[in-house]
Structure 1
């Protein structure tokens, strides 16, 4: 019997998932981009990536509403390009959603370490995994309601942060050494703009994960477009506001390689003992928790969809008594916890573990974005009569912009992160070898009309 997820989520829940998946990117991770591009260079990178994501979401929504499937990009690419296309998109999405949570978990540990200096951030990260895996196992409606609550609190807290630091903002602080550590634009500045792409993507990474809740959405053809479009607009405004105000608070270079840039920026303005600063640490955790919790939901649905279709062991598609993919949730958690403790023996390209995990997640995201936009173009030609309740505005220009910037981003990331690119390709090769060895498993998988194009 085919395992099916239960539709219980409305527009507000889906907006909470879409924004919540991403919002930790406003709290940490992006400031690593300052270290390679400077504030002005990174502002250009962020503007370029914001254009890419806006065009992508308006295009991706067409796929999500036409094919509301828990596999998300895996389902679209398999329907457009067959089993191998599904494998590439599915593996890339899985890499994105498995490597992002340990980076966020480490940031949760860093925020807690501000209040409890003797607390090892790694153990706090493991505790976060245990708590939020359990919450996801207990039911999607409970998980999505919690996600909505913490997302709303996280958005409010970012607005509070901007309001508190705004009086201390100085444009001269923001622009000093703003071109990759220099006051003058040069070829080094241009290289920094491209090298900073992974950290600008981190501002928006995983918004597409709401597609993986499509099978659990009520009336997805109506609710998903509303959630996605309002979600990307929310995130663009927050990203630009947080980055500008944090960079103008003081010496931005002190914030460019740490996991808690917002508390440290606020400390510059209001002092270390201000009640505002301590409030940001505690409430700011909600932003990290929202993304962490939401991405656990996302990776579990990707494991579930791939296993249900025969691309991964069938056992990962089993549902708990709460109708949640508990084995998939636990599997992703085990991988994430192993990654957290790998910092003692892994040193990749001189990066911190957090920066390396962010970069690996972004590799998966970019490949998935490329496959999704190619799927959109292919399905427009091969299935012109596919019911499309939402059509990408400005087609074919808008999806073409998303596709071209994604390809540019992938080339730049390979150029600046050759070792991590090799590891990413190695993971895809392992997935392909498993794929070739398990053809019989897919033949006996339950028939799925959405994947078959019926």
Structure 2
């Protein structure tokens, strides 16, 4: 029997998932881009990436509303390009959503370490996995309601941060040595801008994950477009605001290689013992939790969809008594915990664990973006009569911009991160090897899906 997820989510829940999946990117990760490109160079990188994401979401929403299935990009690419296309998009999305949580979990540990200096950030990160895997197992409506609450709190906290540091904001601080990061590349400004791409993408990474909850959405053809468009606009405003205000608070170079740039930026303004600082640390955790919790929901639905279609072992698509894919939830968690404890054991291009996991997740995201935009163009030609409740505005120019910028980002990623690119390609190759040996498994899954549709 083919397992199906129950539609229980409204527009506000989908907005919270879309924003919540991403909002941790406003709290940490992006500041690594300052170390590569400087504040001014990274501002240019962020503007380019924000343009790509805005064009992408306005185009991607057409696919999500037309094909509201749990697999998201996997389902679109499979419909457009067959099993192999589905495999590429599905594996890339899975890599994105499995490798982003360890980075966020380590940031949760870093934030808690500000309050409790003797707390091991790795143990705190593992604790986060245990708590939020359990919450995700208890039902999607409960999980989504929790996501809504923490996302709203996280947005409010970012606004408070900007309000507190605004009186001491100095454009001179933001622009001081604003091109300093380019020294790493021998003074080549354009080089630094491209090298910083992964960290600008981290501002927006995983917003597409709301598509994986589409099968659980009520009236997805109406609710998804509203959630996505309001979500991307929310995130663009927050990303630009947080980056500029943090950079103008003091010496931005002190923030460029750490996992807790906002508390440290606020320290520059209010000191070490201010109640504002302690509030930022505690409420700021909600931003990290919102993304961490939401991405667990996202990766579990991707495991579920790939398993249900026969691309992964069938056991991963089994549902619990709460109608949640509990085995998929725990599988991604085990991988993430292993990644956390690899910090300091495996050295990837001299990067910290956080930077390496961000870069790996971005590789998956960019490949998925390319496949999604290609699917949009292909389905417009091959299935012109498909029911589309939402049409990408400015077609074909807007999706073409998203596709072109995605390709540029992928080329830059490979150029500046060759070792991680090789590891990413190796994981995709392993997935393809499994794919080649499981034709019968996919046929059985397709037969079961057809039988369920005919009931």
TM-score (norm 2): 0.97
SS at match of 1:278: helix
Structure 2 equivalent of residue 277 of structure 1: 277
Matches within 5 A, 1:90-105: 90-105=90-105
Within 2, Cα distance between the matches of 1:94 and 1:66? Answer: 22
Structure 1 equivalent of residue 110 of structure 2: 110
Within 1, Cα distance between the matches of 2:278 and 2:21? Answer: 24
Q: Please say if 1:36 is aligned against 2:36.
A: yes
Matches within 5 A, 1:179-218: 179-181=179-181, 188-218=188-218
CA offset digits 1:79-136 (Å, max 9, x no partner): 0000000000000000000000000000000000000000000000000000000000
Matches within 5 A, 1:51-450: 51-181=51-181, 188-447=188-447, 448=449
CA offset digits 1:291-330 (Å, max 9, x no partner): 0000000000000000000000000000000000000000
Within 2, Cα distance between the matches of 1:166 and 1:411? Answer: 37
CA offset digits 1:122-178 (Å, max 9, x no partner): 000000000000000000000000000000000000000000000111001001111
CA offset digits 1:336-370 (Å, max 9, x no partner): 00000001311100100100000000000000000
Within 2, Cα distance between the matches of 1:294 and 1:199? Answer: 20
Q: Is the 8 A contact 1:180 1:188 kept in 2?
A: no
Within 2, Cα distance between the matches of 1:268 and 1:66? Answer: 49
Q: Which moved more, 1:309-318 or 1:341-350?
A: 341-350
Within 1, Cα distance between the matches of 2:275 and 2:323? Answer: 43
Within 1, Cα distance between the matches of 2:198 and 2:167? Answer: 30
1:179 deviates by: 1.1
Within 1, Cα distance between the matches of 2:365 and 2:327? Answer: 23
Over 3 Å counting, the alpha-carbon distance change for 1:182 and 1:56 in structure 2 is closer
CA offset digits 1:229-251 (Å, max 9, x no partner): 00000000000000000000000
Within 2, Cα distance between the matches of 1:181 and 1:49? Answer: 18
Within 1, Cα distance between the matches of 2:166 and 2:434? Answer: 53
SS at match of 1:23: helix
1:190 deviates by: 1.2
TM-score (norm 1): 0.98
CA RMSD, 1 decimal: 1.2
CA offset digits 1:209-246 (Å, max 9, x no partner): 00000000000000000000000000000000000000
SS at match of 2:218: coil
Within 2, Cα distance between the matches of 1:66 and 1:16? Answer: 21
Within 1, Cα distance between the matches of 2:181 and 2:385? Answer: 53
Within 2, Cα distance between the matches of 1:341 and 1:256? Answer: 24
Q: Is the 8 A contact 1:2 1:446 kept in 2?
A: no
1:186 deviates by: 8.3
SS at match of 2:188: helix
Within 2, Cα distance between the matches of 1:343 and 1:51? Answer: 33
Within 2, Cα distance between the matches of 1:446 and 1:439? Answer: 11
Within 2, Cα distance between the matches of 1:390 and 1:407? Answer: 25
1:276 deviates by: 0.2
CA offset digits 1:383-412 (Å, max 9, x no partner): 000000000000000000000000000000
1:446 deviates by: 4.0
Gaps of 5+ in 2: none
Within 2, Cα distance between the matches of 1:45 and 1:211? Answer: 26
Q: Is the 8 A contact 2:181 2:192 kept in 1?
A: no
1:189 deviates by: 1.8
Within 1, Cα distance between the matches of 2:260 and 2:228? Answer: 28
1:180 deviates by: 3.4
1:187 deviates by: 5.2
Q: Is the 8 A contact 2:182 2:191 kept in 1?
A: no
Gaps of 5+ in 1: none
Within 2, Cα distance between the matches of 1:312 and 1:186? Answer: 46
Within 2, Cα distance between the matches of 1:384 and 1:15? Answer: 29
